[in-house]
Chain A
Amino acid sequence: MSSLFLAAPLIIVGLGAIGLMLLSAFKPMPSSKLNLITLGILFLALLFELPLINDSFSHILFKDASSDIFNGMLISDSFSSLFTLLFTAGTILTLAISHRYLVANTFIINEFFSLILFALFGMILLAMSYELVTAFIALETASLAIYILIGIDKKNAISNEALFKYLLIGSFAGTFFLLGTLFIYLQIGSTNLGVISTYINTHPMHKSQLIIVGGSLIMITIMFKVGAFLFHTWVLDVYDGACMPVTMYISATFKIAIFSIALRIFLVDFSAYIEFFQPALEALAFLTLIGGSLLALSQHSIKRMLAASSIVHSGYLLIALASFDKDQIIAGSAIIFYLIAYFLSSVGALGLLSYISVDRQKTLTYESFKGFSTRYPILALAMSVFMLSLAGFPSTIGFIGKFYIFTSGIASEHYLLVAVGLFAAFVSIYYYFKLISVMYFYPSDREAKPLTVTLSPTVIVVIAIITIWGGIGTGLVSFLPGADHFIDYASQALESLF
């Protein structure tokens, strides 16, 4: 398979980002048109990714018998192609569901769209990187674009505050990644993941102290970006300060990107040293679940509640990450599936919030949703579906995701961790069902504005249907992937790593 074809999504998105940037400098356009152009570029990239779904392959990019242009820095395998597909589809859904929000708000300048594509470019590069410094560059590319996106609303003080918080803390955390890479390089002499893997598999742990230190430092950056407990202080303010599409982006798509590099590093490299990292991961998972739940319980604003609950969802993912010591394929597939399930529910919920809160000054709290079902019955039903899926209620894709996570935890015999996870799920029922009860059980205190059927509500309803289908769909309907097909794609992707 030609490297150019495999790298096509990356090239298309990169060129698209630069093109949009030039376009916004020379020819200002209304946001609706730009949104459609961006979606078009993304669909073009998607076209190059879809044919690769069912294949199992692994191919270092731009390397052949005679030359190796990038020195083995980039790899394209089933793992990276699955994640690229997830990022592209994620960006498409995010932009589509926020269409009305983007059109209605004046602070969405034209550069917004090229920044989104730059962030996507960084994420795809992250999934394809086979070398630690490349990974860092990709991570920082995506993060820089996201820093600017967070503060895109220049006149809003909260956005500016969120931007600086994330910029300072995020850059600081990013340097740990570099320091970790430095230590690993000191011991091994290379930062290529394949070379590191060979070294780790041939040297015992007690002789590789520098590698252990380096790995721990890299883990710190990953935990920070994911929002695990001790590194979570930025999450609520940054998610709250960013505008809705950007919150969607960082809470869902960016988290998937972080896990792509985390999975690759852990599975390819550090699996031999897992006994060192596993207790730390277990402790982090504990703290994240409990701390995140406590945070989420006390929120009034829906957006902050969803931000705090995203910490809890990182906690569930950490349960599976801590289960890597027994069966890696089960744990890894559980993580990928849960990311998809979380992405769908989170984008749906935040998309709905963005659709009804076109005016940013109003903070949406539980009170604002009183009687929502009488004003907008279909949207209330969709919101209930998203809440149920986030809570892990059966017959939604969120339940299947939690099922896989808890099964992988039990399969590696971490019973106490799974018990805490189940308890966190129980607590989450409270703050998710509270929204459902507020929507349905209280009378409405204002008039309903008529609903025009445009792109955003259609996407909301489609995502709600996918959420239910993912929970109960079966292979009986042959042309649509059922509940178990996603997990098969995920396992296949993970196996291509080895």
Chain B
Amino acid sequence: MNLLTLLIFIPIFSAAIIVISSANLKWTKIITALASLSIVLITIKLFIDFNVHGSLQFELNIPWIASYGIAYHVGLDGFSLTIMMLVAILLPLTFIFMLDRSTKGMFIAMLLAQGGATGALLSIDMILFYLFWETMLLPIFIMIGLYGITNRQKVALRITLYTIFGSLAMLFAILVLAYHYFNLNGVWSFNLYTLAQFHTQVELPFWIYIAFLSAFLIKIPMFGFHGWLKSAYESAPTPTLIILSGIMAKLGVYTIYRFIFLLFPQEVIDSSIYLIGLGILGMLYFGIAALMQKELRILFAYSSASHMSLIVIGLFTLNIYGISGGVYLITAHALATGGLFLILAIIAEQSETTIMQDHSGIIHQSPWLGVLFTLFALSIVGIPGSSGFVAELLIIMGSFHYNMSVGFLTTTTVLIAMTFTLWMLQRMVFGPISTTTQKMTHISIKDGLALSLLAFIIYFMGVMPDIFISYFEPALDTSLSNFGARS
């Protein structure tokens, strides 16, 4: 049985089983736990069986709509393995967090979102990818609308519309691309690698590139495409935020690497300076916006967007340092923000407010929580020893390699991140205990252990990065050599 198919469909079938059998909450949790455990085990098996020097592995290709060349085609390479590992770590920990807090509907929706995101991660056929990309939106729509907070009904619809606009533009680009292939070869095909090989023979209009890219720019979000960011982070429940910012934003970056780099190499090279410019602008803008926030949730939202812009900068430097740094920061950032959002949820439920001014001295009131908070926040800053440091170092090296001034501007990220993070820490975690903070109690053992495991992984990755980098670096190297040959 194909391991990748299992990874995609185990969560989906678990959700279906829960719905059809009308399971009660206890059985829902048991089924979710079993599903998560099997995902973790399968991911470990993938790691063991993975051939570091191979290209696409664990492939499965079954024709689906044969007359149009659409197939169920899935495959895994170094980059997707890294993100799969992310999914396998982050989601079980989120489920552990949800065990005593969430209703049955949240579990079902999270499982479906996990299945959809995994499907989008592993698809090689473009229509299959489009299917998973769109359907992973539905659970998010339901979660924000049903379980969200401020203004949830309107926000759910608004976010869905914003994202689908990009997806429809992407569909247009996919269809035009496939049609050009059909025109040349007389056969329809939506296989990514088939379409990637022919584009050298045909001049594609530039707007196809922009249309295709727009879906991902909205998802990440890049500056200018970020209108949905604030309302989403204001209204969504915490597990949704973890999947939204931890998995789906990263999927946006991953799919740029997987699809855009393969299909439009020349356009990528030509437009890289603009996208890096957009990334720098976003990084600075979101960083300053984070600095101005009074409320913790939105601060995390903007800090997350700022780092996503940094990842995109790393990606578009088009050299091995930048892209490796981008991949590494994806992992580091997802884990760290996952931890931060979980902590935010704990603070919110214990003291009913997340306004920074109200809190002070968390570390004295709830030491374990305070330590974890500090560790995660410092990893965001990029303190040496954390995986964030390794990632940001690589990205900065990559951007210097690309261009001196770009490199100089990129280093400001450390400064900006340091400003809002350290200020937040100083105000909330340290100092005398405020009245609001006094309402907080010690963190529960279960939550504490889960978060400590997360922190351990983050710092382990920071101290011994080579174990992880060696998994994706050879694949990146080969794909970049394709680039180098063209530029």
Binding site for B on A (CB under 8 A): 388, 393-395, 399-400, 403, 406-407, 410-411, 415, 418-419, 422-423, 425-426, 429-430, 433-434, 436-437, 440-442, 472, 474-476, 483-484, 487-488
Among A388, A394, A407, A487, which residue has its beta carbon within 8 angstroms of that of B175? A407
A395-B131, A437-B156 given as contacts; is B64 within 8 A of A474 (CB)? yes
Contact of A440 with B145 in the complex, beta carbons under 8 Å: yes
Q: Beyond A441-B152, A487-B65, list 15 extra A-B contacts (CB 8 Å).
A: A393-B138, A394-B131, A394-B135, A395-B134, A403-B127, A411-B182, A419-B172, A422-B171, A433-B141, A437-B145, A437-B153, A437-B157, A440-B142, A441-B153, A472-B131
- With contacts A411-B182, A425-B168 taken as known, whether A484 is within 8 angstroms of B65 at the C-beta atoms is yes
Q: How many A-B residue pairs have CB under 8 A?
A: 83
Q: Is the CB of A395 within 8 A of B141?
A: no
Q: How far is the CB of A430 from chain B (nearest CB, A)?
A: 6
Q: How far is the CA of A426 from the CA of B170 in the complex (A)?
A: 12
Which residues of B have CB within 8 Å of A430? 157, 161
Q: Which among B135, B145, B152, B176 is the interface contact of A415 at CB below 8 angstroms?
A: B176
Contact of B64 (CB < 8 Å), options: A394, A399, A483 = A483
Tell whether, in the assembled complex, residue B67 and residue A395 are in contact, meaning their CB atoms are under 8 Å apart: no
A69 to B153, CA, bound (A): 65
Chain B residue at minimal CB-CB distance from A442: B153
Residues in B neighbouring A488, C-beta threshold 8 A? 67
Q: How far is the CA of A411 from the CA of B181 in the complex (A)?
A: 11
Closest to B179 in A: A410
CA distance A415 to B171 in the complex (A): 13
B165 near A426 with CB under 8 A, answer: yes
Check A483 against B145 for contact (C-beta < 8 Å): no
Contact in complex: A407, B157 (CB < 8 Å): no
| B67 A441 Cβ-Cβ under 8 A | no
Chain B, interface size category, equals 35 or more
User: Which residues of chain A have C-beta atoms less than 8 A from B164's C-beta?
Assistant: 426, 429
Q: What are the residues of chain B within 8 A of A441 when measuring CB–CB?
A: 145-146, 152-153, 156
Q: Which residues of A contact B175 (CB under 8 A)?
A: 403, 406-407, 410, 418
- Distance to closest chain A CB from B239 (angstroms): 17
Query: Using Cβ atoms and an 8 Å threshold, which residues of chain A touch B65?
Result: 400, 483-484, 487
Residues in B neighbouring A484, C-beta threshold 8 A: 64-68
The closest CB in chain B to the CB of A333 belongs to B67
The answer, among A394, A433, A440, A474, for a CB contact under 8 Å with B130, is A394
The 4 closest A-B pairs by CB, nearest first: A441-B145, A394-B131, A484-B65, A441-B153
Q: Which residues of A contact B64 (CB under 8 A)?
A: 474, 483-484
Chain B neighbourhood of A399, CB < 8 A = 131
Report the Cα distance A441→B164, complex, angstroms: 20
Q: Binary interface profile of B, 125-151, with partner A (CB < 8 Å = 1, else 0)?
A: 001001100110010011001100000
What CA separation (Å) do A411 and B182 show in the bound complex? 9
Q: Which residues of B contact A429 (CB under 8 A)?
A: 160-161, 164
**Is B62 in the interface zone, CB < 8 Å from A?**
yes
Chain B residues near A476 (CB, 8 Å)?
Answer: 62
Residues of A contacting B160 with CB < 8 Å?
429, 433
Contact B68 A407 (CB under 8 A): yes
Within 8 A of A (CB), among B51-81: 62-68, 72
Q: Given the complex, which residues of A lie within 8 Å of B169, measured CB to CB?
A: 422
- A395 → B minimal CB distance (Å): 5
Q: Which residues of B contact A410 (CB under 8 A)?
A: 175-176, 179
Q: Which residues of chain B have C-beta atoms less than 8 A from A472's C-beta?
A: 131
B contact residues around A487 at 8 Å (CB): 65, 67
Q: Which of A403, A423, A433, A474 contacts B157 (CB 8 A)?
A: A433
A407 and B127 CA atoms in complex are apart in Å by: 12
Residues in chain B near residue A406, CB distance under 8 A:
171-172, 175
Q: Restricting to B94-120, which residues have a CB under 8 Å from any CB of A? A: none
- Per-position contact with A for B165-207: 1 when CB-CB < 8 Å, else 0? 1001101100110110010000000000000000000000000
Residues of B within 8 A of A394 (CB): 130-131, 134-135
A10 to chain B, nearest CB (A): 32
Chain A's closest residue to B211 (CB) is A419
Q: How far is the CA of A395 from the CA of B112 in the complex (A)?
A: 14
Distance in angstroms from A401 CB to nearest chain B CB is 12
A422 to B167, CA, bound (A): 10
Q: Give every chain B residue within 8 A of A393 (Cβ-Cβ).
A: 134-135, 138
For A426, the chain B residues whose CB sits under 8 A away are 161, 164-165, 168
Q: Cβ of B176: which chain A residues have Cβ within 8 Å of it?
A: 410, 415
B146 contact set on A, CB distance < 8 A: 440-441
A419, A429, A441 interface centre (most CB from chain B within 10 Å): A441
Contact status of A411 and B179, CB under 8 A, knowing A393-B134, A442-B153, A487-B67: yes
Q: What's the Cα separation between A316 and B209 when bound, in Å? A: 25
Question: Nearest residue in A to B182 (C-beta to C-beta)?
Answer: A411
Chain A residues near B161: list those with CB within 8 A: 426, 429-430, 433
**A426 CA to B160 CA, complexed, in Å:** 10
B6 CB, min distance to chain A CBs, angstroms: 17
Smallest CB–CB gap between B151 and chain A, Å? 11
Q: Write the chain B residue with the least CB distance to A404.
A: B68
Q: List 5 A-B contacts (CB under 8 A).
A: A407-B68, A410-B175, A472-B131, A476-B62, A487-B65
Bound together, the chains give a CA A472 to CA B172 distance in angstroms of 20
A434's partner among B130, B142, B157 (CB-CB below 8 A) is B157
List chain B residues, Cβ under 8 A from A436: 141
A403 and B182 alpha carbons, distance in the complex (Å): 15
CB closest chain-A residue, reference B132: A394
By a CB distance below 8 angstroms, the chain A residues around B156 are 437, 441
In the assembly, what is the distance between CA of A488 and CA of B68, in Å? 11
B residues within 8 A CB of A403? 127, 175
C-alpha gap A426/B67 in the complex (Å): 27
Give the CA-CA distance A395 to B131 in the complex, in Å.
7
**Which residues of A sit under 8 angstroms from B72, Cβ to Cβ?**
474
A483: chain B residues within 8 A (beta carbon): 64-65
**List of B residues within 8 angstroms of A434 by Cβ:** 157
CA distance A400 to B64 in the complex (A): 12
Chain B neighbourhood of A474, CB < 8 A? 62, 64, 72
Task: Give the contacts of B364-406 with A (CB-CB under 8 A).
Answer: none
A418 touching B66, Cβ below 8 Å: no
Instruction: Please give me the residue from chain A that is nearest to B133 by CB atom.
Output: A394
A440 CB contacts on chain B under 8 angstroms: 142, 145-146
A395-B135, A430-B161 given as contacts; is B68 within 8 A of A422 (CB)? no
A487 to B63, alpha carbons, bound, how many Å? 15
Interchain nearest-CB distance for A484 vs B (Å): 4
CB distance from A462 to the nearest CB of B (A): 16
Which of chain A's residues have a CB closer than 8 A to the CB of B157?
430, 433-434, 437
A54 vs B450: C-alpha distance when bound (angstroms) = 60
Cα A376 to Cα B255 in complex, Å, equals 39
Residue of B nearest to A413 (CB): B179
* Docked pose: A476 CA to B62 CA in angstroms: 9
> Given the complex, which residues of A lie within 8 Å of B138, measured CB to CB?
388, 393
* A148 to B63 alpha-carbon distance, docked (Å): 49
Q: A441–B64 Cα gap in the complex (Å)?
A: 35
What is the distance, in angstroms, from A433's C-beta to the closest C-beta of chain B?
Answer: 6
Shortest CB-to-CB span from B148 to chain A, Å, is: 9
Q: How far is the CA of A53 from the CA of B93 in the complex (A)?
A: 54
Whose C-beta in chain B lies nearest to the C-beta of A381? B19
Alpha-carbon distance A422/B160, docked complex (angstroms) = 16
User: Which of B62, B145, B179 is close to A407, meaning CB atoms less than 8 Å apart?
Assistant: B179
CA distance A388 to B134 in the complex (A): 11
**How near does chain A come to B119, taking the closest CB pair, in angstroms?**
10
- Nearest chain B CB to A446 CB, angstrom units: 19
Closest Cβ–Cβ distance, residue B130 to chain A (whole Å): 6
Q: Mark out the residues of chain B between 215 and 234 whose CB falls within 8 Å of any chain A CB in the assembled complex.
A: none
Q: In whole angstroms, what is the CA distance A396 to B115 when docked? A: 17
Q: Are A422 and B172 in contact (CB under 8 A)?
A: yes
Distance (Å) between the CB of B46 and the closest chain A CB? 25
CB nearest to B165 among chain A residues: A426
B28 to chain A, nearest CB (A): 15
Task: Give the residue among B66, B152, B171 with the most A Cβ atoms within 10 A.
Answer: B171
Q: How far is the CB of B71 from chain A (nearest CB, A)?
A: 10
